[in-house]
């Protein structure tokens, strides 16, 4: 009985290993690292990453992966497991650059504005006000 149970467990473990997803790194731009224990190791083209490998892509970086006949791209500023990052829904990012600014309005930026804390605070010294 123990032999049969051991045999069944071994077959299940080998079958799970045979169907585990792995991704081949096609290209890397910018800083892309994977976690290995307590260390981070740079990812290079040709590396094989398991589905559960945690990766970190830097700002402006990208990672191209291939799994079978499918290609995936992981954009920059992402962290997580490879399989979660390649199956994540597309994220809409709004970006752009500022063409002009309106900083010429000096009165708007240098005016003296009192705040609620200044109006409601108690004076450090009492002043006598003469009634007229």
pLDDT in tens, 87-120: 874 455 556 666 666 665 555 555 555 555 555 5
Global pTM reads 0.55
Q: Which helix (H) or strand (E) holds 27?
A: strand 22-29
């Amino acid at each position: 009985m123990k032999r049969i149970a051991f045999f069944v467990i071994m077959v299940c473990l080998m079958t799970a290993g045979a169907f585990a997803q792995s991704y081949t790194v096609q290209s890397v731009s910018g800083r892309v690292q994977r976690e290995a224990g307590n260390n981070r190791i740079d990812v290079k083209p040709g590396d094989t990453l398991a589905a559960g490998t945690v990766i970190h892509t830097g700002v402006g970086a990208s990672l191209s992966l291939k799994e079978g006949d499918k290609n995936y791209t992981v954009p920059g500023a992402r962290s997580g497991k490879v399989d979660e990052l390649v199956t994540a829904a597309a994220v809409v990012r709004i970006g752009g650059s500022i063409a002009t600014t309106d900083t010429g309005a000096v009165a708007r930026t240098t005016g003296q504005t009192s705040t609620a804390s200044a109006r409601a605070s108690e004076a450090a010294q009492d002043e006598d006000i003469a009634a007229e």
